[in-house]
């Protein structure tokens, strides 16, 4: 047996791997784009399967697939199409999508890839020969009926993006928020020194510091929901340029409604199909929110890394779990590897945002954006990186993170910014003079005040109580 079979398309014969479910147009794309080895993200393949299933159902309900048009299908053939689409959604056909991400800018190669796979899989489910030149369930006439790559491919990106935000990113952010909030409550009584400009500042509680992290994640959750909302409008129904040529007026609305049933996400038909086909502003907006989430996570991981620095010559106010040896030359050294991992992956997400912005700004020419495959890849990569990174950060860093109360409290009394609470009693100028004297002498503010009898002991003790400095005072 040969390892290849001969397939034919409008440009002639093509040699296709013998057992592949895809056909000629997919193989041409494989040969034309030997670029990166990056294939479409799995969530996007599943999203395409969902869109094709919704389109098939809409066409069938509108009497298009089994009607009086060219090559009508039987009910059994329609059901076979449904099953083939479901096979894609369920991941049974993941190995059948070999086209490189850096392909035709509309995603036509990938759209024809899935059309061919569904066609051949449906023929096989009917007991037919999927290798025959005759295609009783045709990739263009039936699987792609009422569609263009220009409206269905961006629809699939929107569907995949919203699903991944709802099903992976939001749950991980919720879990991280709970973890941060619990640490904030647990450590609420631990006093430590604040730092601004990397310099000593007034005291705060370790719980307040982690409460701020918890609030960042709470706001990140809000941003994730806004991000998903930015892609709820679906271009499907616009076909080639937004006019809806070769499709039914109800098609886009019916497809959107079916996708709501499939996913539970409130997708809607685009308000203006010409805008929805031509521009990817919603995706750029969506990724902008995701980029902001990444920025917050970078900041939190970096702060925790600094707080855990040491163990003897740094802050060491929190104790990070030991995950692995940190040096090939320094025995016993342990590094904040989970923080560093988070910082690297969030940097990648921020880089992806530049890609998204450039593609959105320059790729939308007239009636079509021609940078969609890489936009889909960047969008879904960012969501996956954040979701997986948060999960690992919780399990391997946050869950085992411990406070070091001794290190936190040891530095408080030494801080020159303790003098701040004396401002209402002695004024800014005298307090500044005390600070300089304390620094020059090596004494604490308290020691110097006692030595110079600056305030009565009871007043001084109340003013220099570190806990009272962590809250407003009437």
| Three-point CA angle 443, 450, 471, nearest 5° | 85
SS3 for the chain is CCCEEEEEECCEEEEEECCCCCCHHHHHHHHHCCCCCCECCHHHHHHHHHHHHHHHHHHHHCCCCCCCCCCCCCHHHHHHHHHHHHHHHCCCCHHHCCCECCCCCCCHHHHHHHHHHHHHHHHHHCCCCCCCCCCCCCHHHHHCCCCCHHHHHHHHHHHHHHHHHHHHHHHHHHHHHHHHHHHHHHCCCCEEEEEECCEEEEEEEHHHHHHHHHHHHHHHHHHHHHHHHCCCEECCCCCCCCCCCCCCCCHHHHHHHHHHHHHCCCCEECCCHHHHHHCCHHHHHHHHHHHHHHHHHHHHHHHHHHHCCCCCCCCCCEECCCCCECCCCCCCCECCHHHHHHHHHHHHHHHHHHHHHHHHHHHEECCEECCHHHHHHHHHHHHHHHHHHHHHHHHHHHCCCEECHHHHHHCCCCCHHHHHHHHHHHCHHHHHHHHHHHHHHCCCHHHHHHHHCCCCHHHHHHHCCCHHHHCCCC
- Contact indicator for 25, 109 with CB cutoff of 8 Å: yes
- Contact indicator for 297, 218 with CB cutoff of 8 Å: no
Q: Give dist(CA 287, CA 200) in Å, integer.
A: 37
Q: Give dist(CA 159, CA 279) in Å, integer.
A: 16
Q: Give dist(CA 218, CA 434) in Å, integer.
A: 41
Q: Give dist(CA 99, CA 85) in Å, integer.
A: 19
Q: Give dist(CA 293, CA 382) in Å, integer.
A: 10
The number of residues making up the chain comes to: 474
What is the separation of C-alpha 435 from the centre of its chain, rounded to a whole number of angstroms? Answer: 47
Active site residues: 197, 327
């Amino acid at each position: 047996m040969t390892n290849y079979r001969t397939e034919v398309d409008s440009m002639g014969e093509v040699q296709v791997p013998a057992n592949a479910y895809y056909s000629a147009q997919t193989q041409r794309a494989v040969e034309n784009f030997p670029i990166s080895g990056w294939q479409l993200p799995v969530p996007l393949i599943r999203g395409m399967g969902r869109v094709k299933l919704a389109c098939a159902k809409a066409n069938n309900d509108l009497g298009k697939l089994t009607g009086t048009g060219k090559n009508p299908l039987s009910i059994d053939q329609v059901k076979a199409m449904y099953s083939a689409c479901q096979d894609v959604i369920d991941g049974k056909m993941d190995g059948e999508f070999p086209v490189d991400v850096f392909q035709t800018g509309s995603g036509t190669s990938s759209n024809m890839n899935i059309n061919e796979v569904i066609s051949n899989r449906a023929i096989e489910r009917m007991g037919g020969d999927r290798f025959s030149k005759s295609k009783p369930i045709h990739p263009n006439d039936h699987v792609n009926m009422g569609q263009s790559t220009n409206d269905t491919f961006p629809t699939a990106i929107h569907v995949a993006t919203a699903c991944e935000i709802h099903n992976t990113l939001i749950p991980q952010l919720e879990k991280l928020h709970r973890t941060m909030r619990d640490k904030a409550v647990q450590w609420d009584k631990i006093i430590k020194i604040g730092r601004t400009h990397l310099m000593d500042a007034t005291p705060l509680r370790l719980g307040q510091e982690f409460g701020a992290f918890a609030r960042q994640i709470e706001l990140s959750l809000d941003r994730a929901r806004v991000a998903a909302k930015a892609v709820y409008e679906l271009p499907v129904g616009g076909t080639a340029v937004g006019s809806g040529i070769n499709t039914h007026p109800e098609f886009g609305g019916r497809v959107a409604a079916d996708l709501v049933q499939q996913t539970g996400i409130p997708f809607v038909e685009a308000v203006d199909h010409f805008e929805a086909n031509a521009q990817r502003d919603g995706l750029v907006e969506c990724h902008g929110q995701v980029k902001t989430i990444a920025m917050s996570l970078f900041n939190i991981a970096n702060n925790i890394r600094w707080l855990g620095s040491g163990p003897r010559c740094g802050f060491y106010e929190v104790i990070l779990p030991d995950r692995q040896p940190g040096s090939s030359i320094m025995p016993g050294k342990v590094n904040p590897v989970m923080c560093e991992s988070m910082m690297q992956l969030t940097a990648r997400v921020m880089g992806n945002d530049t890609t998204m912005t450039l593609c959105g700004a320059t790729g939308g020419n007239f009636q079509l954006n021609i940078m969609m495959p890489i936009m889909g890849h960047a969008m879904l990569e960012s969501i996956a990186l954040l979701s997986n990174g948060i999960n690992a950060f919780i399990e391997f860093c946050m869950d085992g993170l411990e406070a070091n109360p001794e290190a936190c409290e040891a530095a408080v009394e030494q801080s020159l910014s303790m003098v701040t609470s004396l401002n209402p009693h002695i004024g800014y100028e005298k307090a500044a003079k005390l600070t300089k004297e304390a620094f020059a002498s090596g004494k604490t503010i308290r020691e110097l005040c006692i030595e110079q009898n600056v305030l009565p002991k009871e007043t001084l003790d109340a003013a220099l109580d570190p806990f009272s400095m962590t809250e407003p005072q009437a």
